[in-house]
Chain A
Amino acid sequence: DIQMTQSPSTLSASVGDRVTITCRASQSISSWLAWYQQKPGKAPKLLIYKASSLESGVPSRFSGSGSGTEFTLTISSLQPDDFATYYCQQYNSYSLTFGGGTKVEIK
């Protein structure tokens, strides 16, 4: 199975900060990567697919980049609603696998 490693596991930031989360794959997954946001007690929400395509309705402050084995999710200006846990997920091959998550906390 392809292993997905996210860093950092926790990130403390302030409203207005630029935030970057990294996801690394154990082998090349081309651009077959998605990003999700999850808030406590809620289901995850799709943000980005195919590494850099913004899901409809998702604010443009979210962006994704990368290909091969290294990917990033960037929030250009952190808003109060963005404090949550973020997960990457590869869909290059089965089994589908997620990163361990990055919790974005209020500084």
Chain B
Amino acid sequence: QVQLVESGGGVVQPGGSLRLSCAASGFTFSSYGMHWVRQAPGKGLEWVAFIRYDGSNKYYADSVKGRFTISRDNSKNTLYLQMNSLRAEDTAVYYCAKDPGPQGYYFDYWGQGTLVTVSS
């Protein structure tokens, strides 16, 4: 069965950095696109970033472009999100989510999420 397990969340000061990881199992990780989606406390869902199955193409939400970097290591079945220049408005639960295909469409499996809190 598909499993996605995020880690790396925590409390960080404004302007700081954090790297999230998502360990994938139960499917052929290298064949599927992967996403990060976030949800601020009490708010709705916001798509953050996508990476193609082979890492050759990446897309970002305008709100994180230039600050966040999505990457993947297919040999380790792991997805990453490097978050720099963090702001209070980046406080959210961050979910990794699997795409049903290689190119990027929607989210058929989700992890349990990891909480990132940006606060001084």
Residues of A within 8 A of B (CB): 1, 32, 34, 36, 38, 42-46, 49, 55, 87, 89, 91, 94-101
| B interface bracket (residues with beta carbon within 8 Å of A) | 20 to 34
**Segment of B17-25, B78-86, B99-107 engaged in the interface with chain A:** B99-107
Q: Give B68 Cβ to nearest chain A Cβ, in Å.
A: 13
If over half of A's interface residues share one DSSP class (helix, strand or loop), that class is named, otherwise mixed; here it is loop
Q: How many A-B Cβ pairs are below 8 Å? A: 58
Q: Could you say which of B62, B108, B112 contacts A55, with CB atoms under 8 Å apart? A: B108
How far is A99 from B45 in the complex, measured between Cα atoms in Å?
8
- Residues from chain A with Cβ under 8 Å of B107 in the complex: 34, 36, 44, 46, 89
Of all A-B residue pairs in the complex, the 3 with the closest CB atoms, nearest first, are A43-B110, A34-B106, A96-B47
Question: Would you call B88 an interface residue if the criterion is a C-beta within 8 Å of the partner chain's C-beta atoms?
Answer: no
Residues of B within 8 A of A (CB): 35, 44-47, 50, 59-62, 95, 100, 104-113
- Whether B105 pairs with A98 at a CB distance below 8 angstroms is no
Q: Could you say which of A45, A49, A100 contacts B106, with CB atoms under 8 Å apart? A: A49
- Whether B59 pairs with A87 at a CB distance below 8 angstroms is no
7 A-B contacts, Cβ less than 8 Å apart? A36-B45, A43-B110, A44-B45, A49-B108, A89-B107, A94-B59, A96-B106
